[in-house]
Structure 1
Amino acid sequence: MPAGATPSTLLIEREPPLVTLTLNRPEVLNAMSPVLLDELEEALRAAEADPETRVVLITGAPRAPGRPNFSAGADIRASGGPSASPPGEPLAHTLVAAREVAQGVGPEHQSRFNGVFGYLERMSTPSIAVVDGICTTGGLELILSCDLRLVGEAAQISDWHTRNLAAIGGAGVTTRLPKLIGAARAKEMLWTGRPIGAEEAVRIGLANAMHPSGELLERAKDLAREIAAMSSFAVAASKAVVGAAAHQETEEGIRYAELWSSLIALQKEATGTPPPPSPLDR
């Protein structure tokens, strides 16, 4: 790094067909600043547009002296307060957001975190959160936006919005968490702030698997390579169908799956070749 240069808040490792993104602010437990969010969104959009990238992994830089760490959530000091909402008069912003919800439009006035995490969730490229050590509050909301979650044996996952801020999470934890682990368990996490260890995270469905801390990233890359070996078009199609299933009746979801299956079959019949590597190319 050149003398006097500011280190990047996000490290990017490209190993086609994988890209690993590492939150790199270990001195503040990888708390997410506006700069980090900007770099994360830029990296995600680049990965989504790159046909060689089949899977994105997201992890955190270890804290001193080498202890595992994912993210302590939003950097409140760097964000200017407990919410990284657009600048402006708070009450006016809140009223506009409430009006958008009532009218079923927007959210035009969404937080920076919602914008980035929502994009991550909607990407056709699958994502894996590689989680060890502290993962709390906004860190939890980040991993909930990923498709899969692998945890190391030192993982401690929690939500401290209510415990520390007397607030509720606004970047997806109150919505995505109950969908993943059930309403009762989600309420317990939100209302107590009790950290969930690695074994419990797997048991309740918050994580897909647990691995020794020293092996976690490589085991995650093994899984990513297994996914990358599949048809990325079919993977993206199944991601879209499964993602929509929570909002659809069973028959509607089945028809949606049939539509994607028909698109794949038509592509093969029309060209005699497999579908393009990404729905972006269809």
Structure 2
Amino acid sequence: MNTPSGRPMDAHLSGGNQRSLQGFAPQHFAWEQRGAVGLITLNRPERKNPLTFDSYAELRDLFRTLGLVDEVRAIVVQGAGGNFCSGGDVHEIIGPLTQMSMPDLLAFTRMTGDLVKAIRACPQPVISSIDGVCAGAGAIIAMASDLRVGTARSKTAFLFTRVGLAGCDMGACSILPRIIGQGRASDLLYSGRSLGGEEALAWGFLNRLVEPEAVLESSVQWAQEIAAGPSFGHAMTKKMLHQEWAMGVDEAIESEAQAQAICMMTQDFHRAYHAFVAKQRPEFQGD
């Protein structure tokens, strides 16, 4: 049996530990595969692509599944119609939340947090392609991504205090300070103000700033470049970036020694060596 990439599937993986997204058709967002890049499009442009209970859950389930998918090596998330995501739908989420009991509210907030956990845990690097409004849960999805490409007109707002809530939503008080620093994160989480594209680039929230008409192309091209690299090595890098938040320096160095020794056992490491000797470009296959 072969994987969707054409490589033989190990016998111990054929018992249910691999998944294919061939034919995957989600109900609450759009999905497209461009080679080894998966493209998620939040597609309610008439409302600036808000999330619902169902889209939260379906996104969480997709990112969980991606941990078992061999054919997709990088992910791009975008919104349709010139905006990224306006957060939770006021009518379909905010309104119903005001009528829920405490156990139901906690089940909801844990589910939204599980989406962030799934984005951080999936082995594929995730790039958010941000234009226009990027607010609330949309800002959280961008924050949880590994990389962010934006435009000057993009407006990122962690606006939870604007609706009477705390800024500590879906891991924001843990992840955001690590991206832009404690003081800047405090500014955004207390005020709920919008962060423009140029300021977001200067602060390090955005990795790249491009023109609106180029934001998706630039994001997909970057994802394709990443996908062409050693996917096992990329997955290990992502895992170490996440796990080392809670480590001391000595523990981190030891963890990286073990991780790198594991990567040295891969065929991609050997391919890179032989390609270098032959003065050729290595063709990584992810094993």
Range into which the TM-score falls when normalised by the shorter chain: 0.7 to 0.9
| Pair 1:19-2:56 in alignment | no
> How many corresponding residue pairs?
251
Question: How far apart, CA to CA, are the structure 2 residues paired with 1:155 and 1:80?
Answer: 24
Question: How far apart, CA to CA, are the structure 2 residues paired with 1:109 and 1:195?
Answer: 25
Deviation at 1:14, TM superposition (A): 0.8
Question: How far apart, CA to CA, are the structure 2 residues paired with 1:57 and 1:109?
Answer: 25
- Identity over the aligned pairs, expressed in percent? 25
For residues 65-104 of structure 1, the aligned pairs below 5 Å read: 68-79=82-93, 81=95, 89-90=101-102
Contact 2:167/2:190 (<8 A) preserved: no
Structure 2 residue aligned with 1:229: 228
Unaligned runs of 5+ in 2: 1-25, 273-283
**One-letter amino acid of the counterpart of residue 44, structure 1:** F
Q: Deviations over 1:11-38 (max 9, x none)?
A: 1111121010001112222111012123
Structure 2 residue aligned with 1:34: 53
Q: Structure 1 stretches (4+) deviating beyond 6 angstroms?
A: 271-276
Question: How far apart, CA to CA, are the structure 2 residues paired with 1:252 and 1:8?
Answer: 43
Question: How far apart, CA to CA, are the structure 2 residues paired with 1:160 and 1:82?
Answer: 19
Contact 1:76/1:83 (<8 A) preserved: no
Q: What CA RMSD, in Å, does the superposition of the two structures yield over aligned residues?
A: 2.8
Contact 1:83/1:111 (<8 A) preserved: no
Normalising by structure 1, what TM-score?
A: 0.80
| Pair 1:255-2:254 in alignment | yes
Deviation at 1:276, TM superposition (A): 7.3
Deviation at 1:236, TM superposition (A): 0.7
Deviation at 1:88, TM superposition (A): 7.3
For residues 194-273 of structure 1, the aligned pairs below 5 Å read: 194-267=193-266
**One-letter amino acid of the counterpart of residue 277, structure 1:** G
Deviation at 1:254, TM superposition (A): 0.9
Deviation at 1:93, TM superposition (A): 7.1
Unaligned runs of 5+ in 1: 1-6, 63-67, 98-107
For residues 160-175 of structure 1, the aligned pairs below 5 Å read: 160-175=159-174
**Distance 1:76-1:258 versus aligned 2 partners, 3 A rule:** same
**3-state SS in 1 of match to 2:67:** helix
Deviation at 1:144, TM superposition (A): 1.0
**3-state SS in 2 of match to 1:49:** coil
Larger deviation, residues 257-266 vs 118-127: 257-266
Structure 2 residue aligned with 1:105: none
Structure 1 residue aligned with 2:71: 52
Deviation at 1:47, TM superposition (A): 3.5
Structure 1 residue aligned with 2:123: 124
**One-letter amino acid of the counterpart of residue 69, structure 2:** D
Deviation at 1:199, TM superposition (A): 1.0
Structure 2 residue aligned with 1:111: 110
**Distance 1:73-1:80 versus aligned 2 partners, 3 A rule:** closer
Question: How far apart, CA to CA, are the structure 2 residues paired with 1:83 and 1:51?
Answer: 38
**One-letter amino acid of the counterpart of residue 33, structure 1:** T
Larger deviation, residues 45-54 vs 248-257: 45-54
Question: How far apart, CA to CA, are the structure 2 residues paired with 1:32 and 1:199?
Answer: 26
Normalising by structure 2, what TM-score?
A: 0.79
